[in-house]
Amino acid sequence: MLITVFSPKGGSGTSTCAALLAKSCSMILAKQTVLIDAANGDIETIVGFNSESKYGFIQWLESATPTSHSLEKISNFIEDNFSYVSYSSIKENCYIDKCVQSDGNNKFKIQEIISTLSTSESNYIIDIGTNINELNNALIESSDFVFMVLRGCYITLSRATKHPYLEQSDVAIYIAESGRSITAKQMGTVLKLKCIIEIEARRDFAKVIDAGVLLFRTPKYMISAIDKFMHDVNKYFETMLTNFNDQNVSKAKNKNYNRIQSLSNDTFDIFNDAEEHNNRNFWDVLETESRNRDGVDIISEKSLNTKNKIQTRAINDSYTSHLHDVFDGIKDKGRS
């Protein structure tokens, strides 16, 4: 399975979210999972390794035969079923954008690279950060899941509305910070996202990241919503494999993974005092969009721990339909 993680704005926590997704994949999907830094980010620091890497992702991209075997060879072991690949050799200062040219005359065998990553038995979680280039376009297009990382600020939302990867985004990870005016539900409604994984930004989470032990002492509340989504994915795959020969599997048979709490479809105002904002036209558009959209499904630790969780578990048709579209796409690509 190929998963790509990006953000419309730098500093949103893309590398951290990619690391959490990779850990969840390795544990729940029980397959070899490789976390790849394709954005020259902070993966090595986040996973708690600062040793020099002889080869990185760029060196693999430039190799004569970019195979899954050679990628495994340059991977750094973290724990069972879990490894990571750094961006580049510490001794070399390379940038993917300089190797990828818009005229197609680039140093990488893009089609061969995409074929390797999308057909391998392993799970690849690739952090592409905020970069937009020919290689990342191909990664986004070929990914089984595309995750967009968001924070509840105007700049992030403004950039997201115009981002070229918005239409291909399957799930958003929303980092909830105190003092932010734009909620996860508002983000999802405006951007027309069906599913959002909400992670609360807490001080104890920051301490774990700063100490370099995120993947070894992952706070339960930091990864629980991601785990919930991955369990849904795993159960869907199990159901799909069981009914592989039946091309018209009834959605009713897939109740075992549809446990997202139903949300209210009530309309809302983005700001009660919207007239105080300079860019009034922008907020008018957002408010209009919010009133014309259905509810957004949000998976968060808070929703998972709701007292009425059992009573309110109901199949949300929009979420169900959306996941079916995603998985049908995977099946069409021959990776089921």
Contacts 24+ apart (CB under 8 A), 93-98: 94/58, 95/40, 96/38, 96/40, 96/58, 96/61, 96/131, 96/133, 96/135, 97/131, 97/133
Q: How many CB atoms lie within 10 A of CB 311?
A: 8
For 204-257, the pLDDT digits (tens) are 888 888 877 888 888 888 899 999 999 988 888 777 666 554 544 433 334 333
Q: In 10 A of CB 224, how many CB atoms?
A: 18
Give me the pLDDT at residue 327, please.
59
pLDDT at 268: 34
Q: Of 8-12, 32-36, 218-222, 250-254, which range is least confident?
A: 250-254
Helix (H, G, I), strand (E, B) or coil at 52: coil
Mean pLDDT across the stretch 33-41?
92
- Mean pLDDT: which of 114-123, 177-186, 245-254 is highest? 114-123
- The answer for residues whose C-beta is within 8 angstroms of residue 144's C-beta and 6 or more apart is 1, 2, 3, 118, 326, 329, 330, 333, 335
Q: Which of 67-81, 231-245, 277-291, 301-315 has the highest mean pLDDT?
A: 67-81
Using the predicted structure, report yes or no on whether residue 203 has a pLDDT greater than 50: yes
- Looking at residue 325, its pLDDT comes to 60
**Residue 159: pLDDT over 90:** yes
Q: Largest Cα–Cα distance in the chain?
A: 58
The amino acid present at 52, given as its one-letter code, is E
Closest CA to 228 of 175, 283, 173, 275: 173
What's the rounded Cα separation, in Å, for the pair 90 and 93?
A: 7
Least confident of 163-177, 242-256, 315-329: 242-256
| pLDDT, position 302 | 76
Q: How confident is the model at residue 179 (pLDDT cuts 50, 70, 90)?
A: confident
Of residues 288 and 40, more confidence is placed in 40
Mean pLDDT across the stretch 71-84? 89
Residue 117 pLDDT greater than 50, yes or no: yes
Q: Which range, 158-167, 254-263, 313-322, is most confident? A: 158-167
| Domain regions of the chain by residue span | 2-332
List, in sequence order, every residue forming a beta bridge with 85; answer none if it has no partner: 36
Residue 192 corresponds to which tokens in the numbers above? 């027309």
Percent of the chain with pLDDT over 90: 34
| CA 329/CA 196 separation, integer angstroms | 20
pLDDT reported for residue 34:
96
Its pTM stands at 0.74
Instruction: Give me the CATH code for the 2-332 domain, please.
Output: 3.40.50.300
